[in-house]
Structure 1
């Protein structure tokens, strides 16, 4: 069955602007925004709390099961900081947001992240961990890395994704 609308994965280190981008693109296009972190909390799709990393330990199989039907229908913007466990067949586009390290540090401080958690996330950004995860997990032609350090970057990214979604046509 061919989807009538595209599925897009928006990924990147925490604090790069995934949720803001998805909310704005969803408002402009009507695509359904699914924040995986919120879904995990709401549907209890986790295996408890990880004290070391200060986060829930998601159950990737449960997350994929919860999203399967929705993804088959299409028209979904998936927002999550990880990407390698989602099936490649789900996505027509994978967007990896990247942010200047100083900007990212400040954003995470505003979220009241611990110094350790900020350092780990900034190190992840420096090492391009999410970019590598995306390029290892999905076809090269569907992975796009976008800068997300300023309001102007965000505006440009919203416009670019909105135009892409509006012009998308299912492949035969």
Structure 2
């Protein structure tokens, strides 16, 4: 079954009092390598092109309608370039394209993520997939 939830540590530039920033891809891979080799891990991250293909049996890309996404990000305090970059990323399907280029196309699936009902359906679908995978591979 899946391992307990863990989070990557927040990273700050060395010798800096700056706010934590997104960790570098190599740092993320290094930090997850041992856990991933044990199996049973679900990774939730805002990118995927640097994760080794061997880590995943399936990849889900959450997609959001731009009007929903704008409101969601605005309510979280996103403004300016950060808001614009996130909206453009969704318009151009950047994460989906990244996933399709990084992994076998047949393991990459898009799921709608617009409403709380979508969240529930997605969780159900992912749990069904995990249960079926376990039956097929154990």
Could you state the TM-score of these two structures normalised by the residue count of structure 1? 0.70
1:73 is displaced (CA, Å) by 0.7
* Deviation, structure 1 residue 114: 1.6
- Indicate whether 1:144 and 2:124 are aligned: no
Structure with greater proportional strand content: 1
Rounded Cα–Cα distance in structure 2 between residues aligned with 1:55 and 1:132 = 28
- The answer to whether the aligner puts 1:157 opposite 2:122 as a matched pair is yes
C-alpha distance in 2, partners of 1:58/1:77?
A: 18
Deviations 1:105-147 (A, max 9, x none): 1111111112321111011100000000000000111111111
Greater C-alpha radius of gyration = 2
- Stretches of structure 1 lacking an aligned partner (at least 5 in a row): 6-29
- Pick one of 54, 58, 75 that aligns with 2:40: 75
Q: Which segments of 5 or more consecutive residues in structure 2 lack a partner in the other structure?
A: none
The higher relative CO (CA closer than 8 Å, separation ≥ 6) is in: 1
> Shift of the alpha carbon at 1:32?
3.7
Cα deviations by residue, 1:78-112 (Å, 9 ceiling, x for unpaired) = 11111000000001111000001011011111111
Question: After TM superposition, where is structure 1 displaced by more than 6 Å over at least 4 residues in a row?
Answer: none
Give the TM-score taking structure 2 as reference length: 0.86
Number of residue pairs matched by the alignment: 135
Aligned position for 1:90: 55
CA RMSD of aligned residues (A): 2.4
Query: Is the 1:33–1:79 contact (alpha carbons within 8 Å) kept by the matching residues of 2?
Result: no
Instruction: State the distance in 2 between where 1:67 and 1:112 align.
Output: 29
